[in-house]
Amino acid sequence: MSTYQYIRYSVAERIARITLNVPEKRNPLSLGLRAELVDALKVAERDDEVSVVLLDGEGPVFCSGYDLNASGGGPKGGWISEKHFDGWSDQFARNAIKDWLTIWDLMKPVVCKVQGACLAGGTEVMSMCDIVFAADNARIGYPATRAQASPDTAFFPWKMTMAQAKYMQLTGNSITGKQAADWGWIAKSFPAERLEEEVMKEVRALATIAPDMLAVNKGCLNETYENMGFKNALNAGVHWHVLSLQRVRPSAGEFRRIVNEQGIKAALKWRDDPFRGVGG
Domain range list for the chain? 7-247
Are 207 and 13 in contact by the 8 Å Cβ rule? The answer is yes
Question: Region 60-87: what's the mean pLDDT?
Answer: 69
| Short-list 77, 74, 73, CA closest to 92 | 77
Whole-number Å distance between alpha carbons of 57 and 72: 17
Whole-number Å distance between alpha carbons of 188 and 92: 31
DSSP notation for 79-129: ---STTTTTTS-HHHHHHHHHHHHHHH-SS-EEEEE-SEEETHHHHHHHHS
Helix (H, G, I), strand (E, B) or coil at 46: helix
Q: Which amino acid, residue 150?
A: S
pLDDT of residue 278: 82
Between helices 254-262 and 264-272, what is the axis angle to 10°?
140
Q: Which residue has the higher pLDDT, 113 or 94?
A: 113
φ, ψ of residue 13 in degrees (nearest 5): 55, 35
Question: Region 82-96: what's the mean pLDDT?
Answer: 81
Q: What is the mean pLDDT of the chain?
A: 92
**Is 133 a residue whose pLDDT tops 60?**
yes
pLDDT of residue 88: 77
CA 81, 83, 87, 89 dihedral sign is negative
At 245, is the pLDDT very low, low, confident or very high (cuts 50, 70, 90)?
confident
The model's pTM is 0.93
Q: Which residue has the higher pLDDT, 74 or 152?
A: 152
Determine how many CB atoms are found less than 10 A away from the CB of residue 245.
Answer: 18
The CATH number of 7-247, from 3.30.1510.10, 3.40.50.300, 3.90.226.10, 3.40.50.720, is 3.90.226.10
pLDDT of residue 188: 98
Distance from the Cα of residue 192 to its chain's centroid: 20
